[in-house]
Amino acid sequence: MSFTEIDVQNALKNLIDPNTKQDFVSGKSVKNVKVNGNDISLDILLGYPAKSVWDEIKSMVEAHLSSALPGAGKVSVSVSSKVVPHAVQRGVKLVAGVKNIIAVASGKGGVGKSTTAVNLALALAAEGARVGVLDADIYGPSQPTMLGISGQPNSADDNMLEPMSNHGLQAMSIGFLIDGEDTPMVWRGPMVTQALDQLLHQTKWDNLDYLVVDLPPGTGDIQLTLAQKVPVTGAVIVTTPQDIALLDARKGLKMFEKVGIKIVGIVENMSTHICSQCGHEEHIFGAGGGEKMCADYNTEFLGGLPLDIRIREQADSGTPTVVADPDGNIAKVYKQIARRIAVKVADMTQDHSAVFPKIVVQNT
């Protein structure tokens, strides 16, 4: 029985991508379909990094086509990913070398925002993306310690800073530029926002798919200025199930909405505590708060992480959980959340500013 490229496309309309929940044709992932006799070859180009599931998707597509098209010969599928830039808030200057910026924020301190940010960045990198981390918490920079990076960045001739790197991430922090871990940043708001602007725009980011920005906690003048000056593709809110943390997290979410930044979703940290001695699981900070907040604001619950001593120990030692125990259950949760963030970003409006020609009006 003979079939055409159209038949192949139609067959793939019935196959759902388990990550996007869309069929591969609607998701515009099917490329370069070729039919040679009874043999079929095609490419699946995913809009999100997913190195760990490429083989699974390849096998799934090949098996589906073999059964959906009677008489099909050899079916060859190549799977890869390509991350493209997506739209940010209006009137904000884009950053050279960065496709997408994901802000990780919290309404209050102490909810594990920085630990979550670095592990999500590492999880995106593990899936094959080029990822950087900008430590925007000027008063309390923690990324140098969490990433196990010491020393100062090199400065190029053009006054640009070379990002520091470890664990496959590019990184920049005010912590790299000050003398000593105990040096306090006794700065007023305008100095802080200027410092962040310089860290963001004067770092030579090298072709990043994602720059994860670890924002300071709160919703004051500094956070508002940062939200207006940093071209953010989407924001992730980190909270705990505790009522007071959720109250502040709601304020953070509303702040992003007011400045036109899309909310990707909410991560609930310290959802449960599992006793290291007996394995008993307990909701010591309450239960269901993150899901309720998501329902109230029509946003997505990205996932919950346990209160586990290993997360703290691994981050403090400079090897966060995703690299310290990449096959463990906690790293698996971080990777699931990171993939969901990437899928949601891929579904956002693309940024086409680079393809528009520049119009120059001259008097002749």
114-173 pLDDT tens trace? 999 999 999 999 999 999 999 988 777 889 899 999 888 888 767 899 999 999 999 999
Amino acid type, 274: I
Where does the pLDDT of residue 363 fall: very low under 50, low under 70, confident under 90, or very high at 90 and above?
A: low
pLDDT(182) > 70: no
The CA–CA distances, whole Å, from 144 to 24, 147, 201, 216, 316 equal: 40, 5, 19, 15, 10
CATH code of domain 98-346: 3.40.50.300
CA 19 to each of CA 211, 322, 341: distance values in angstroms, whole numbers, following the listed order: 22, 20, 11
Would you state the pLDDT for residue 353? 62
For residues 139 and 22, the model is more confident at 22
Percentages helix, strand, coil for the chain, rounded to the nearest 5? Answer: 35, 20, 45
Average confidence score pLDDT of the chain: 86
pTM above 0.85, yes or no: yes
pLDDT at 361: 58
Task: List the structure tokens of 279.
Answer: 């394995």
Give the residue with greater pLDDT, 278 vs 329: 329
Give the highest mean pLDDT range of 94-103, 254-263, 285-294, 345-354: 94-103
What's the pLDDT at 356? 47
Per-residue pLDDT, 64: 94
Alpha carbons 115 and 330: distance in angstroms, whole number: 13
Least confident of 35-44, 85-94, 290-299, 349-358: 349-358
How high is the pLDDT of residue 76? Answer: 94
Domain extents in the chain: 5-81, 98-346
The SS3 of residue 268 is strand
pLDDT at 323: 94
172-197 in b/e form (b: 16+ CB < 10 A) is bbbbbebeeeeeeeeeeeeebbebbe
CATH topology of domain 5-81: GMP Synthetase; Chain A, domain 3 (3.30.300)
203-212, 243-252, 291-300: segment of lowest average pLDDT? 243-252
